[in-house]
Structure 1
Amino acid sequence: MAGPASLDVKNENTTVLPFAVVKLNPEVVQVLEKYEPNGLPGILADTRPPSSIKFGIGDIISVTIFEASAGGLYVPLEAGVRPGNYVNLPDQAVDNDGNITVPYAGRIRAAGRTNVQVQEDILQQIKKRAIDPQVVVTSSQQRSSLVSVFGEVRTPVRFPMPLAGAQDRITDAITRAGGISGAGWETWVVLERNGKRATVPFGNLVYFPSSNIFVQPGDRIYLYREPMKFIAFGATGQQGEFNFDAWRINLTQAVAKARGLLDLQADPASVFLYRREPREVAQRLGVDCSKFDGDSVPIVFNVNFQDPAGYFIATKLSMRPFDVLYAANAPQVDITKVLNFINTTLVTAESGVTLVNNIRFPGPTSSTTTITTIGP
């Protein structure tokens, strides 16, 4: 596959889409390592652990009321033989208005409040009528504060968040679903929260603990399988689309996956990596971003494999999904192509003359007539 010449890339000779060329060196690699693609914390601002879970509409609530002695508001005198002066009220669901009903306390607001807040509200309503009352409110069944995990997991699950806040992280939620069903390096995690969506590779959660954020009530976690790939063409041993087959690979490994550079064709000093970088990263790399629109800048990184240091630098540059790797032809290759074309043309012409000289036709005076070419 013919591609742009190395000089065209290095000189940024294009009028269709502007791009920047950045020579790969240790300083550039340091900038790229610092500005890793955004994980979940960079997309979803709320990474704090969940506070105490609040009741929602439809939750089933259990209320238990204790009194200091029998004969009070809730515990009759004959209950003195029981091992405790308390009464369990029938379980009830939080209604569409967000309330529950407690005898002698009336309608109590429950939706959007913690169990401690509901307990205190009930206590304030009955403390002047009951005998030194105490109130315990628990959740019998949660229907609002749920977390869903589905997709490429062994057992899709929908589980409630404990009232006290279990502080589960994303990987904990995935574990509740039996873990991922495929290879980690080709699994992606989508987190939906409060109308926002963030997508990261599964490995991002494992190797970057800051990305493994806490689960919040209402989170939907979807896992899907899509191998990470890059494209290689030009003077490489093999052109096409290649899977990473690992959580991460570096530029040197990518060249190896493409069967290396062609000995008689490639220019080792002109290996290029095409990708888009955020404007902030491009500015840190010294790119003049004034001629670029949008949040990202197309950049072509140039690595020189003719320099031994280039191999070490390339091992520090991590490939990203959909990167494009291009190895340019050496300048002498184009000259060789022209010479071969000229040589082929001359040989073809010479062969044609020889063929004409050897053709014989039947004549009237002899069995064959020889056509003789006249000319210098």
Structure 2
Amino acid sequence: MRLPVVALLSVLLAGCAALPGQGPAAISITAEDIESDNTSAQYAVVPLTQSTVSTVQAYQPVLFGRKFGDVGGGGRAATLGVGDSLAINIWEAAPDGLFSSSAGKSVSIPTVIDQSGFIFIPYAGRIPANGRTVEGLRVAIEERLKGKAIEPQVSVLVEGNESNSVVVVGDVVKPGQYPLSVRGSRILEVVAQAGGAREASYETVVTLKRGRSSGTARFEELIDFPDNNVRLAPGDNVLLSHKPRTYSAFGAVGQTKLVPFKTESVTLAEALAQVGGLKDFFADAGGVFLFRYESADLLRRVRPDLEGRIPGETFPVVYKLNFRQPNAFFMARSMEMRDKDVIYVANHPTAEFGKFLQLIGPLLSNYNAVNRVITN
């Protein structure tokens, strides 16, 4: 009776290598050729140390702010343009002037800058207004009226600044066209005029379209890092989109799945807990990996040896955490997750043998039961 069992065990042992796995082992991820040859590697491996975690957490992503820069306070937003509605107020020194009436020695003339960029004022004719400042237009009107009106005094009020406006659409309370203030308006100010975002700030993405250029940032990044809250230019389009953040977990974890962020911040420790933690008998505690795209500037800070060898503004990074070290739990509590992060927990080298024991366990139990019956 023992011979068939021995034969069966031999077959099972031979097929052990064919047992299904949950992914490559930790040694496969950190292969020596990847670690040592950063020039040809498709990603950079960064061990998670306390210094690395501190650098990552302190880093301020301002790629959005750098792309659009600053148009300057007052600049273009202080000039007039086609479509602007104006109120021209004219006063004269005597009651018998051109613009005097029984109601007084002044008149208010409503006008709109036409498609050719001009306005019309009685006795002054057509006056170019497009591209001029309010003060420049006021002086031009006074000059045209000298010798015609009696010591004219002019003021220009902007009632509708259509040419210096931006469009805010998407997931805001009041989408529409909003004028820029004379001092210049920033993204958050215009979004506030539009009633704010409909969804939570940490689930909202801001896209700014300026001419042929466009850029995207998380709404919270405009608040946390003021350099990203850039001044808007006339004609800009601002789109707010509801895009909940998610992360994925693979490998030897309790549950392999896509997990949405339920709070504003989620740490690596919390992310692992939400998928059931590391899987007993299978997980390699020394092979926990976090995959994400990092700013090239940040990567140069955590891996100075890669200076000059990182193409583009972002680069794929694999952070490695060893839970066999006690301080790894503290680092996991400090490392915050980001949208589209991927967690992978490698298999332990003995995991395949554990699967083998689970497979043959019932067979051995049946054999022992039969053997006891035969013996008795």
Please classify the TM superposition score into its range, dividing by the shorter chain length.
0.7 to 0.9
2:55 paired residue number = 31
1:87 paired residue number = 107
Cα distance in structure 1, aligned partners of 2:351 and 2:99: 99
**Percent of pairs with identical residues:** 33
Which of 23, 38, 55 is the equivalent residue of 2:80? 55
Q: CA deviation at 1:238?
A: 1.0
Cα distance in structure 2, aligned partners of 1:294 and 1:129: 64
Number of residues of Structure 1 aligned to a counterpart in Structure 2: 345
Cα distance in structure 2, aligned partners of 1:297 and 1:207: 23
SS at match of 2:192: helix
Which of 90, 94, 118 is the equivalent residue of 1:99? 118
Q: For residues 268-283 of structure 1, what are the structure 2 equivalents within 5 Å? A: 268-283=285-300
Matched, 1:251 2:271: no
Q: Deviations over 1:292-338 (max 9, x none)?
A: 65443322111122212112222222212111100112222133335
1:191 paired residue number = 208
1:256/1:349 Cα in 2 relative to 1: closer, same or farther (>3 Å)? closer
**In the alignment, is the contact (CA less than 8 A) between 1:12 and 1:19 conserved in 2?**
no
1:366 paired residue number = none
Q: CA deviation at 1:228?
A: 0.6
**In the alignment, is the contact (CA less than 8 A) between 1:40 and 1:198 conserved in 2?**
yes
**In the alignment, is the contact (CA less than 8 A) between 1:289 and 1:297 conserved in 2?**
no
1:143 paired residue number = 162
**In the alignment, is the contact (CA less than 8 A) between 2:62 and 2:225 conserved in 1?**
no
Q: CA deviation at 1:234?
A: 0.8
1:347/1:256 Cα in 2 relative to 1: closer, same or farther (>3 Å)? closer
1:38/1:4 Cα in 2 relative to 1: closer, same or farther (>3 Å)? farther
Q: Deviations over 1:266-302 (max 9, x none)?
A: 1222100112223333232225367765443322111
Deviates more, 1:107-116 or 1:185-194: 185-194
Deviates more, 1:323-332 or 1:295-304: 295-304
1:241/1:149 Cα in 2 relative to 1: closer, same or farther (>3 Å)? same
Structure having the higher Rg: 1
Alignment gaps of 5+ in structure 2: 1-20, 372-376
Q: CA deviation at 1:111?
A: 0.9
**In the alignment, is the contact (CA less than 8 A) between 1:250 and 1:315 conserved in 2?**
yes
1:317/1:50 Cα in 2 relative to 1: closer, same or farther (>3 Å)? farther
Letter of the aligned partner of 1:271 in structure 2?
A: V
Q: Deviations over 1:198-249 (max 9, x none)?
A: 2122222333333333444323221111111111011111111111122222
Q: For residues 291-330 of structure 1, what are the structure 2 equivalents within 5 Å? A: 293-330=311-348
Cα distance in structure 1, aligned partners of 2:92 and 2:124: 15
1:272/1:87 Cα in 2 relative to 1: closer, same or farther (>3 Å)? same
**Structure with the larger helix share:** 2
TM-score relative to the length of structure 1: 0.80
Q: CA deviation at 1:100?
A: 1.2
1:5 paired residue number = 25
| Higher RCO (CA 8 Å, separation ≥ 6 residues) | 2
1:313/1:50 Cα in 2 relative to 1: closer, same or farther (>3 Å)? farther
Cα distance in structure 2, aligned partners of 1:292 and 1:213: 27
Q: CA deviation at 1:168?
A: 4.1
Q: Deviations over 1:173-216 (max 9, x none)?
A: 22322222223322212122343222122222333333333444
Cα distance in structure 1, aligned partners of 2:365 and 2:332: 46
Cα distance in structure 1, aligned partners of 2:173 and 2:331: 40
TM-score relative to the length of structure 2: 0.80
Q: For residues 211-226 of structure 1, what are the structure 2 equivalents within 5 Å? A: 211-226=228-243
Which of 59, 67, 74 is the equivalent residue of 1:43? 67
Cα distance in structure 2, aligned partners of 1:266 and 1:325: 13
Q: Deviations over 1:56-112 (max 9, x none)?
A: 11222221211122334x235xx4x64x421223x2221222111223333211111
Cα distance in structure 1, aligned partners of 2:236 and 2:309: 40
1:348/1:260 Cα in 2 relative to 1: closer, same or farther (>3 Å)? closer
1:12/1:132 Cα in 2 relative to 1: closer, same or farther (>3 Å)? farther
Cα distance in structure 2, aligned partners of 1:344 and 1:136: 95
Deviates more, 1:153-162 or 1:297-306: 153-162
